[in-house]
Copies of this chain bind each other. A is one copy, B any other.
Amino acid sequence: MARIGLGMVGGGADAFIGGVHRIASRIDGHFDLVAGALSSTPEKAKKSGEALGLDPDRSYGSFEEMAEAEAAREDGIEAVSIVTPNHVHFAAAKPFLERGIHVICDKPLTATFDDAEAMATAVRDSKALFVLTHNYTGYPMVRQAQAMVAEGGLGQLRVVQVEYPQDWMTDAVENSGVKQAEWRTDPERSGAGGSIGDIGTHAFNLAAFVTGETPTRLAADLQSFGAGRALDDNAHVMLRYDSGARGMLWCSQVAPGYENGLRLRLFGDKGGLEWAQEDPNVLWYTRHGEPTQRITRNGAGATDASTAVSRIPPGHPEGYLEAFATLYSEAAEAIRAVQSGEDREAVMGKLPGLAAGLEGMAFIRACVTSARDDAAWVTL
C-alpha cells in the first residue's frame, strides 16, 4: 500500500522532538515526509528542509502557506505532524484541520486554556483525525498493563503511584543557551505549567490510560527551584478518584540521577504492578500472595495487548522510538480507515486524541489553581 504523504510543522535544527517524530514515522514504513514548514523563521525553515532532503517546492516558510499549497496539490500531504513549542500548536493545527488534513500533534494540547477550547472546536468542526502523541501509551508493556487492569488482574484499584523525575534542569540551563529549556520555562510559550505541563501530563495520561480511571480531585504543591524560574520545575500532587482509589503524582526536572524516570505503580485488592519507562520491556506483576512475576515483551506471559504492538522477539529490546512509532502506525491505520469511509471516532482505537488533550489541560489548570490556593483540593 502506498505510503501516506506527511508534512511537518516545526522540527528544524536543534529540535529534539521533531527528529523523534520523523524516525517514528519511518520505522514501520507507513509515511513519507514530503513537505514541511520546519521553523518559524522562513530562512531557517528552508535550510532545515534542505538538510532533510525535502523537495524545495514543498519546504515552506510558514504553516499557513504549507496548508494552502498542499491542500491544492493533487499529491498533497494527507497528514501533518505538529512539533512546535506548545503555544503554536493551535495556530499550526488549525489550517490543516480546516482543510481536512489529519493532524498528529505533540503534547500538551496547547499552552493556554483559550487555545485548548479553540482547538477543541476546530477538531470538532473538522473531518480530519486528531492524534495527540502521548507516546508512552505506545509501549507494549503499557498496553499489557492496561489489559491486565481491565481484566481484573489487580482487583479493585486502591492506590496509584506515578512519578516522572528528570534532572536536566537542575541548573538554570535556560540561561545558558539550552533551547529546549528556554521555551519550556517561558510561560508565553509553554503555558501555565512548567514541569506539570511538560512531563506531569505524561504521567497523568499514563495513569489514566492504564487504570481506565481519571481522578476527579487533586491537591497540588508546585515548586520552582531553579533560580529565577517562572514556572514549576517540581510538583507534588495528591489524587482522589470517584471509585475510592487514591494516588500520588510526582514530577520533577530537578532530580539529579534521573534521566527520564517515568514510572507507574498500581495496587488493588488482588494484586500490584509496576512499569518503568527506562526498562520498558518488562512489566512486574504480583498476584497478591504469589511471587512477583517478571513479564517481558513478547516473552512468556505476554498477551495479545502487547504482542500486537511488538516487532521483535523477547530479549531484543524495543525502546522509545518504537513506542512512538506504534502511535504513527496506528494513526496510519486510522487514516486509511477514515479514507475508506469508516467513522472518525470508531477508528481511533487506543490512540490518544482530543479527549486526552483536554484532560491534560484540565490537569494543568487544576494543579495551577490548587497550588495558588495553598494546595487546596480542586475538582478537575
| Residues of chain A having any CB pair with chain B under 8 Å | 1-2, 16, 19-20, 22-23, 26-29, 53, 158-159, 161, 163, 166-168, 170-171, 219, 221, 223, 225, 234, 236, 238, 240, 246-248, 250, 252, 254-261, 265, 267-274, 277-281, 284-296, 299-301, 311-322, 374-375, 377
Q: Which residue of B lies closest to A255 (CB)?
A: B267
Give Cα A105–Cα B170 distance, bound, in whole angstroms.
42
How many monomers of this chain does the complex have?
Answer: 4
- The smallest C-beta distance from A31 to any residue of chain B, in angstroms, reads 10
* Contacting pair A267 B256 (CB below 8 A): yes
Query: Would you give 26 A-B contacts (Cβ < 8 Å), ordered by A?
Result: A2-B53, A27-B321, A158-B254, A159-B254, A159-B255, A161-B163, A168-B313, A221-B246, A252-B267, A254-B267, A255-B265, A257-B267, A257-B285, A257-B292, A258-B272, A258-B315, A277-B315, A278-B315, A291-B295, A293-B294, A311-B321, A316-B319, A317-B320, A318-B320, A319-B322, A374-B377
Contacts of A316 in B (CB 8 A): 259-260, 319-320
Is A260 touching B313 in the complex (CB atoms < 8 A)? yes
When distances are taken between beta carbons in the complex, the residues of chain B under 8 Å from A246 are 221, 223, 234, 236
Cβ-defined contact, B234 with A221, below 8 A: no
